[in-house]
Amino acid sequence: MVNIVSLFRENIKRLKPYSTARDEYSGKIGIFLDANENSFGSIPTGELNRYPDPHQKKLKEKLSKIKKIKSENIFIGNGSDEVIDLLLRTFCEPGKDSIITMPPTYGMYKVAADINNINMIEVPLTNEFQIATENVLNAITDSTKVIFICSPNNPSGNLMNKNSIRSILNSFSGIVVIDEAYIDFSDYESWISELENFNNLVVMQTFSKAWGLANIRVGLAFGNQVIISVLNKIKYPYNVNGVSQQIIIKSLDYVFKKNEIVEKIISERGKLTKALLSFVFVKRVFPSDANFILVKVNNANKIYDYLLENKIIIRNRSNMIRCRECLRITVGTEEENKKLIEILSKYGD
Protein backbone atom coordinates (compact mmCIF):
# COMPACT_ATOMS: atom_id res chain seq x y z
CA MET A 1 0.00 0.00 0.00
CA VAL A 2 1.23 3.46 -0.92
CA ASN A 3 1.11 6.21 1.72
CA ILE A 4 -1.05 8.61 -0.30
CA VAL A 5 -1.11 11.50 2.18
CA SER A 6 2.69 11.63 2.21
CA LEU A 7 2.54 12.29 -1.55
CA PHE A 8 0.41 15.43 -1.19
CA ARG A 9 2.10 18.76 -1.74
CA GLU A 10 2.76 20.48 1.59
CA ASN A 11 0.40 23.40 0.85
CA ILE A 12 -2.34 20.91 -0.08
CA LYS A 13 -1.89 19.04 3.19
CA ARG A 14 -2.47 22.32 5.02
CA LEU A 15 -5.28 23.64 2.81
CA LYS A 16 -8.64 24.52 4.33
CA PRO A 17 -11.22 24.22 1.53
CA TYR A 18 -13.72 26.99 0.73
CA SER A 19 -16.97 26.50 2.57
CA THR A 20 -20.01 27.29 0.42
CA ALA A 21 -23.32 28.60 1.75
CA ARG A 22 -24.78 25.16 1.10
CA ASP A 23 -22.00 23.51 3.12
CA GLU A 24 -23.01 25.65 6.06
CA TYR A 25 -26.76 25.05 5.69
CA SER A 26 -27.80 22.06 3.63
CA GLY A 27 -31.57 22.09 4.35
CA LYS A 28 -33.88 22.30 1.34
CA ILE A 29 -36.72 24.43 2.70
CA GLY A 30 -36.56 28.06 3.73
CA ILE A 31 -35.95 31.54 2.44
CA PHE A 32 -32.45 31.49 1.09
CA LEU A 33 -30.69 34.79 1.62
CA ASP A 34 -27.24 33.41 2.30
CA ALA A 35 -25.47 33.08 -1.06
CA ASN A 36 -26.00 36.50 -2.67
CA GLU A 37 -28.04 34.86 -5.43
CA ASN A 38 -30.82 36.63 -7.29
CA SER A 39 -34.12 35.65 -5.67
CA PHE A 40 -36.10 37.10 -8.62
CA GLY A 41 -35.04 34.26 -10.93
CA SER A 42 -33.00 34.09 -14.11
CA ILE A 43 -32.97 36.35 -17.15
CA PRO A 44 -34.90 36.07 -19.39
CA THR A 45 -36.71 33.25 -17.52
CA GLY A 46 -36.06 30.04 -15.72
CA GLU A 47 -34.59 28.68 -12.55
CA LEU A 48 -30.88 28.98 -12.95
CA ASN A 49 -30.48 31.57 -10.22
CA ARG A 50 -29.26 29.20 -7.50
CA TYR A 51 -25.73 27.80 -7.28
CA PRO A 52 -25.50 24.13 -8.23
CA ASP A 53 -24.73 21.34 -5.77
CA PRO A 54 -20.96 21.64 -5.23
CA HIS A 55 -20.78 17.95 -4.27
CA GLN A 56 -22.91 16.65 -7.18
CA LYS A 57 -24.62 14.31 -4.72
CA LYS A 58 -27.51 13.09 -6.90
CA LEU A 59 -25.30 12.54 -9.88
CA LYS A 60 -22.78 10.59 -7.82
CA GLU A 61 -25.53 8.42 -6.30
CA LYS A 62 -26.74 7.46 -9.75
CA LEU A 63 -23.25 6.89 -11.11
CA SER A 64 -22.42 4.86 -8.05
CA LYS A 65 -25.19 2.36 -8.87
CA ILE A 66 -24.24 2.11 -12.53
CA LYS A 67 -20.49 1.84 -12.00
CA LYS A 68 -20.89 -0.28 -8.87
CA ILE A 69 -18.55 1.89 -6.86
CA LYS A 70 -19.19 4.05 -3.79
CA SER A 71 -19.84 7.79 -4.19
CA GLU A 72 -16.76 8.46 -2.02
CA ASN A 73 -14.66 6.92 -4.77
CA ILE A 74 -16.03 9.14 -7.54
CA PHE A 75 -14.78 12.60 -8.49
CA ILE A 76 -16.64 14.64 -11.09
CA GLY A 77 -14.70 17.25 -13.01
CA ASN A 78 -15.24 19.90 -15.63
CA GLY A 79 -14.08 17.40 -18.25
CA SER A 80 -11.18 14.99 -17.72
CA ASP A 81 -8.94 17.94 -18.43
CA GLU A 82 -9.81 19.40 -15.03
CA VAL A 83 -8.99 16.06 -13.39
CA ILE A 84 -5.54 16.00 -15.02
CA ASP A 85 -4.80 19.51 -13.76
CA LEU A 86 -6.06 18.79 -10.24
CA LEU A 87 -3.99 15.62 -9.95
CA LEU A 88 -0.86 17.60 -10.80
CA ARG A 89 -1.79 20.35 -8.38
CA THR A 90 -2.31 17.79 -5.61
CA PHE A 91 0.81 15.71 -6.02
CA CYS A 92 3.48 17.71 -7.84
CA GLU A 93 5.54 20.53 -6.38
CA PRO A 94 6.12 23.06 -9.20
CA GLY A 95 9.75 23.37 -10.24
CA LYS A 96 10.65 20.22 -8.33
CA ASP A 97 8.53 17.15 -9.06
CA SER A 98 8.04 15.25 -12.30
CA ILE A 99 5.55 13.08 -14.11
CA ILE A 100 6.03 10.32 -16.68
CA THR A 101 4.06 10.11 -19.91
CA MET A 102 4.38 7.75 -22.86
CA PRO A 103 4.28 9.49 -26.21
CA PRO A 104 2.68 9.49 -28.65
CA THR A 105 -0.21 10.24 -26.34
CA TYR A 106 -2.88 12.76 -25.37
CA GLY A 107 -1.46 16.28 -25.48
CA MET A 108 -3.10 17.70 -22.37
CA TYR A 109 -0.76 15.87 -19.97
CA LYS A 110 2.08 18.02 -21.29
CA VAL A 111 0.07 21.24 -21.34
CA ALA A 112 -1.08 20.70 -17.75
CA ALA A 113 2.51 19.88 -16.69
CA ASP A 114 3.83 23.00 -18.43
CA ILE A 115 1.17 25.24 -16.86
CA ASN A 116 2.02 23.87 -13.43
CA ASN A 117 5.77 24.08 -14.08
CA ILE A 118 6.21 20.36 -13.59
CA ASN A 119 8.93 18.44 -15.36
CA MET A 120 7.61 15.80 -17.77
CA ILE A 121 9.73 12.72 -18.50
CA GLU A 122 8.71 11.14 -21.77
CA VAL A 123 9.21 7.41 -22.19
CA PRO A 124 8.09 6.59 -25.75
CA LEU A 125 5.82 3.64 -26.43
CA THR A 126 7.34 0.80 -28.48
CA ASN A 127 6.98 0.67 -32.28
CA GLU A 128 3.78 -1.30 -31.74
CA PHE A 129 2.52 1.43 -29.40
CA GLN A 130 2.92 -0.66 -26.25
CA ILE A 131 4.40 0.41 -22.91
CA ALA A 132 8.19 0.03 -22.79
CA THR A 133 7.89 -1.26 -19.24
CA GLU A 134 11.58 -1.52 -18.35
CA ASN A 135 12.24 1.98 -19.69
CA VAL A 136 9.35 3.37 -17.66
CA LEU A 137 10.56 1.70 -14.47
CA ASN A 138 14.10 2.94 -15.11
CA ALA A 139 12.87 6.50 -15.68
CA ILE A 140 11.27 6.75 -12.22
CA THR A 141 13.20 9.00 -9.83
CA ASP A 142 12.54 10.25 -6.31
CA SER A 143 10.79 13.28 -7.75
CA THR A 144 8.40 11.27 -9.97
CA LYS A 145 4.93 11.60 -8.50
CA VAL A 146 2.47 10.68 -11.25
CA ILE A 147 2.56 8.31 -14.25
CA PHE A 148 -0.08 8.80 -16.95
CA ILE A 149 -1.14 5.77 -18.99
CA CYS A 150 -3.67 6.34 -21.74
CA SER A 151 -5.57 3.14 -22.58
CA PRO A 152 -6.96 2.96 -25.24
CA ASN A 153 -4.27 5.39 -26.26
CA ASN A 154 -4.82 8.55 -28.24
CA PRO A 155 -3.67 8.74 -31.10
CA SER A 156 -2.74 5.06 -31.63
CA GLY A 157 -6.14 3.71 -30.55
CA ASN A 158 -4.88 0.54 -28.86
CA LEU A 159 -5.17 -0.74 -25.31
CA MET A 160 -2.06 -0.93 -23.19
CA ASN A 161 -0.83 -4.33 -22.09
CA LYS A 162 -2.35 -5.34 -18.73
CA ASN A 163 0.83 -6.92 -17.38
CA SER A 164 2.84 -3.79 -18.12
CA ILE A 165 0.31 -1.66 -16.25
CA ARG A 166 0.28 -4.13 -13.39
CA SER A 167 4.04 -4.10 -13.02
CA ILE A 168 4.08 -0.29 -12.98
CA LEU A 169 1.36 -0.31 -10.33
CA ASN A 170 3.32 -2.82 -8.26
CA SER A 171 6.68 -1.07 -8.54
CA PHE A 172 5.81 2.62 -8.36
CA SER A 173 5.06 4.29 -5.05
CA GLY A 174 3.46 7.36 -6.65
CA ILE A 175 0.12 7.78 -8.42
CA VAL A 176 -0.72 5.79 -11.56
CA VAL A 177 -3.43 7.40 -13.67
CA ILE A 178 -5.14 5.31 -16.34
CA ASP A 179 -7.01 7.51 -18.79
CA GLU A 180 -9.92 5.45 -20.10
CA ALA A 181 -11.61 8.16 -22.18
CA TYR A 182 -12.21 5.59 -24.96
CA ILE A 183 -12.83 2.45 -22.87
CA ASP A 184 -16.47 2.07 -24.05
CA PHE A 185 -15.23 1.30 -27.56
CA SER A 186 -13.16 -1.66 -26.37
CA ASP A 187 -14.17 -5.14 -25.20
CA TYR A 188 -11.94 -4.95 -22.18
CA GLU A 189 -13.00 -4.33 -18.63
CA SER A 190 -12.19 -1.04 -16.98
CA TRP A 191 -9.39 -0.84 -14.41
CA ILE A 192 -12.06 0.35 -11.95
CA SER A 193 -12.35 -3.28 -10.84
CA GLU A 194 -8.72 -3.12 -9.66
CA LEU A 195 -9.14 -0.08 -7.42
CA GLU A 196 -9.47 -2.27 -4.35
CA ASN A 197 -6.07 -3.79 -5.03
CA PHE A 198 -4.12 -0.59 -5.69
CA ASN A 199 -4.68 2.48 -3.52
CA ASN A 200 -2.40 4.54 -5.81
CA LEU A 201 -4.54 3.91 -8.92
CA VAL A 202 -6.75 6.62 -10.43
CA VAL A 203 -9.00 5.74 -13.38
CA MET A 204 -10.29 8.59 -15.55
CA GLN A 205 -13.34 8.39 -17.80
CA THR A 206 -15.42 10.98 -19.61
CA PHE A 207 -18.88 11.71 -20.97
CA SER A 208 -17.30 13.37 -24.02
CA LYS A 209 -16.85 10.28 -26.20
CA ALA A 210 -19.25 7.31 -26.02
CA TRP A 211 -21.97 9.44 -24.42
CA GLY A 212 -21.63 12.20 -26.99
CA LEU A 213 -21.70 14.93 -24.34
CA ALA A 214 -18.40 16.71 -25.04
CA ASN A 215 -20.15 20.08 -25.01
CA ILE A 216 -21.24 19.98 -21.38
CA ARG A 217 -17.77 19.10 -19.99
CA VAL A 218 -18.11 16.26 -17.54
CA GLY A 219 -15.17 14.00 -16.74
CA LEU A 220 -14.73 11.42 -14.02
CA ALA A 221 -12.03 10.09 -11.77
CA PHE A 222 -12.37 6.91 -9.73
CA GLY A 223 -9.97 6.17 -6.94
CA ASN A 224 -9.17 5.64 -3.33
CA GLN A 225 -11.23 7.79 -0.96
CA VAL A 226 -8.17 9.71 0.24
CA ILE A 227 -7.38 10.80 -3.33
CA ILE A 228 -10.98 11.60 -4.22
CA SER A 229 -11.51 13.70 -1.11
CA VAL A 230 -8.39 15.78 -1.75
CA LEU A 231 -9.55 16.43 -5.33
CA ASN A 232 -12.89 17.60 -3.94
CA LYS A 233 -11.07 19.81 -1.48
CA ILE A 234 -9.02 21.68 -4.09
CA LYS A 235 -11.50 21.94 -6.99
CA TYR A 236 -13.42 25.16 -7.62
CA PRO A 237 -16.53 24.89 -5.45
CA TYR A 238 -18.98 24.80 -8.38
CA ASN A 239 -16.76 23.11 -10.97
CA VAL A 240 -19.61 21.19 -12.62
CA ASN A 241 -22.50 23.47 -13.51
CA GLY A 242 -26.09 22.57 -12.66
CA VAL A 243 -27.27 22.21 -16.25
CA SER A 244 -24.54 19.67 -16.94
CA GLN A 245 -25.37 17.77 -13.76
CA GLN A 246 -29.05 17.59 -14.74
CA ILE A 247 -28.29 16.43 -18.26
CA ILE A 248 -25.97 13.67 -17.08
CA ILE A 249 -28.50 12.49 -14.47
CA LYS A 250 -31.05 12.16 -17.28
CA SER A 251 -28.61 10.59 -19.74
CA LEU A 252 -27.76 7.85 -17.26
CA ASP A 253 -31.28 6.45 -17.81
CA TYR A 254 -30.21 5.76 -21.38
CA VAL A 255 -27.24 3.44 -20.96
CA PHE A 256 -28.85 1.17 -23.58
CA LYS A 257 -28.86 4.04 -26.07
CA LYS A 258 -25.18 4.74 -25.40
CA ASN A 259 -24.45 1.04 -25.92
CA GLU A 260 -26.39 1.03 -29.20
CA ILE A 261 -24.38 3.97 -30.54
CA VAL A 262 -21.11 2.43 -29.37
CA GLU A 263 -22.05 -0.75 -31.29
CA LYS A 264 -22.69 1.32 -34.41
CA ILE A 265 -19.36 3.14 -34.07
CA ILE A 266 -17.53 -0.17 -33.61
CA SER A 267 -19.23 -1.59 -36.69
CA GLU A 268 -18.39 1.54 -38.71
CA ARG A 269 -14.80 1.34 -37.44
CA GLY A 270 -14.56 -2.16 -38.91
CA LYS A 271 -16.01 -1.08 -42.27
CA LEU A 272 -13.79 1.97 -42.42
CA THR A 273 -10.68 -0.09 -41.62
CA LYS A 274 -11.47 -2.50 -44.44
CA ALA A 275 -12.16 0.26 -46.93
CA LEU A 276 -8.98 2.16 -46.01
CA LEU A 277 -6.87 -0.97 -46.44
CA SER A 278 -8.01 -1.24 -50.06
CA PHE A 279 -6.21 1.99 -51.02
CA VAL A 280 -2.67 1.69 -52.39
CA PHE A 281 -1.58 4.83 -50.57
CA VAL A 282 -2.54 3.29 -47.22
CA LYS A 283 0.44 1.48 -45.72
CA ARG A 284 -1.07 0.41 -42.45
CA VAL A 285 -4.24 0.74 -40.42
CA PHE A 286 -3.44 0.33 -36.74
CA PRO A 287 -5.89 -1.81 -34.75
CA SER A 288 -8.23 0.40 -32.76
CA ASP A 289 -10.14 -0.02 -29.52
CA ALA A 290 -11.34 3.58 -29.75
CA ASN A 291 -13.67 5.75 -31.86
CA PHE A 292 -10.85 6.74 -34.21
CA ILE A 293 -8.30 5.03 -36.40
CA LEU A 294 -4.62 5.79 -36.93
CA VAL A 295 -3.58 5.25 -40.53
CA LYS A 296 -0.09 5.24 -42.02
CA VAL A 297 -0.10 6.59 -45.57
CA ASN A 298 2.31 7.45 -48.36
CA ASN A 299 2.16 11.21 -48.03
CA ALA A 300 0.23 12.33 -44.96
CA ASN A 301 0.52 16.07 -45.61
CA LYS A 302 -0.77 15.71 -49.16
CA ILE A 303 -3.70 13.50 -48.20
CA TYR A 304 -4.54 15.76 -45.27
CA ASP A 305 -4.60 18.82 -47.56
CA TYR A 306 -6.59 16.97 -50.20
CA LEU A 307 -9.27 16.01 -47.67
CA LEU A 308 -9.32 19.54 -46.32
CA GLU A 309 -9.93 20.90 -49.84
CA ASN A 310 -12.89 18.53 -49.93
CA LYS A 311 -14.17 19.80 -46.58
CA ILE A 312 -13.22 16.68 -44.67
CA ILE A 313 -11.22 17.50 -41.59
CA ILE A 314 -9.06 14.88 -39.95
CA ARG A 315 -6.00 15.15 -37.71
CA ASN A 316 -2.49 15.00 -39.12
CA ARG A 317 -0.41 13.29 -36.44
CA SER A 318 2.76 12.98 -38.56
CA ASN A 319 4.82 15.17 -36.26
CA MET A 320 4.32 12.96 -33.23
CA ILE A 321 6.93 10.41 -32.28
CA ARG A 322 6.34 6.95 -33.89
CA CYS A 323 3.61 8.49 -36.06
CA ARG A 324 5.54 9.45 -39.20
CA GLU A 325 3.09 9.78 -42.13
CA CYS A 326 0.16 9.02 -39.85
CA LEU A 327 -3.34 10.45 -39.97
CA ARG A 328 -5.93 10.09 -37.24
CA ILE A 329 -9.48 9.71 -38.44
CA THR A 330 -12.48 9.85 -36.11
CA VAL A 331 -15.14 7.27 -36.98
CA GLY A 332 -18.17 9.24 -38.15
CA THR A 333 -21.71 8.25 -39.10
CA GLU A 334 -22.24 5.74 -41.92
CA GLU A 335 -22.92 8.63 -44.28
CA GLU A 336 -19.83 10.60 -43.22
CA ASN A 337 -17.58 7.57 -43.55
CA LYS A 338 -18.99 6.74 -47.00
CA LYS A 339 -18.27 10.27 -48.13
CA LEU A 340 -14.72 10.05 -46.78
CA ILE A 341 -14.09 6.80 -48.68
CA GLU A 342 -15.69 8.18 -51.83
CA ILE A 343 -13.42 11.22 -51.74
CA LEU A 344 -10.35 9.15 -50.93
CA SER A 345 -11.10 6.84 -53.85
CA LYS A 346 -10.72 9.86 -56.15
CA TYR A 347 -7.35 10.82 -54.62
CA GLY A 348 -4.58 10.86 -57.20
CA ASP A 349 -6.99 10.65 -60.17
Burial 206-241 (b: 16+ CB within 10 A, else e): bbbbbbebeebbbbbbbbbeebbebbbebbebebbb
Among 56, 206, 239, 245, binds ligand PLP (CB under 6 A): 206
Residues paired with residue 293 on neighbouring β-strands, in sequence order: 329
Residue nearest to ligand PLP (CB): 79
Nearer to ligand PLP, 8 or 207 (CB): 207
80 binds ligand PLP (CB under 6 A): yes
Among 8, 75, 91, 106, binds ligand PLP (CB under 6 A): 106
Nearer to ligand PLP, 101 or 154 (CB): 154
Sheet holding 315-316, edge to edge: 282-285, 292-297, 326-330, 315-316
8 binds ligand PLP (CB under 6 A): no
Supply the minimum distance, in Å, between the C-beta of residue 156 and ligand PLP. 11
Burial 296-314 (b: 16+ CB within 10 A, else e): bbeebeebbebbeeeebeb
Please tell me the count of residues contacting ligand PLP according to CB under 6 A.
12
Nearer to ligand PLP, 82 or 268 (CB): 82
Among 81, 97, 184, 325, binds ligand PLP (CB under 6 A): 81
Nearer to ligand PLP, 155 or 279 (CB): 155
The answer, yes or no, to whether the previous bond of 17 is cis (omega within 30 of 0) is no
Name 132's Cβ contacts closer than 8 Å, sequence gap at least 6.
102, 123, 124, 125, 126
**Residues between 60 and 79 with contacts to ligand PLP, criterion CB under 6 A:** 79
Q: Tell me how far apart the alpha carbons of residues 173 and 140 are, in angstroms, rounded to a whole number.
A: 10
Name 330's Cβ contacts closer than 8 Å, sequence gap at least 6.
291, 292, 314, 315
Nearer to ligand PLP, 106 or 172 (CB): 106
Supply the minimum distance, in Å, between the C-beta of residue 124 and ligand PLP. 17
DSSP 8-state class, residue 3: -
Supply the minimum distance, in Å, between the C-beta of residue 344 and ligand PLP. 24
Nearer to ligand PLP, 208 or 224 (CB): 208
Q: Tell me how far apart the alpha carbons of residues 316 and 24 are, in angstroms, rounded to a whole number.
A: 51
Supply the minimum distance, in Å, between the C-beta of residue 43 and ligand PLP. 29
- x/- site string to ligand PLP, residues 181 to 200, per CB under 6 A? x-------------------
Supply the minimum distance, in Å, between the C-beta of residue 105 and ligand PLP. 7
Q: Tell me how far apart the alpha carbons of residues 293 and 326 are, in angstroms, rounded to a whole number.
A: 10
Question: Which residues of this chain interact with ligand PLP, rule CB under 6 A?
Answer: 79-81, 106, 150, 154, 179, 181, 206, 208, 214, 219
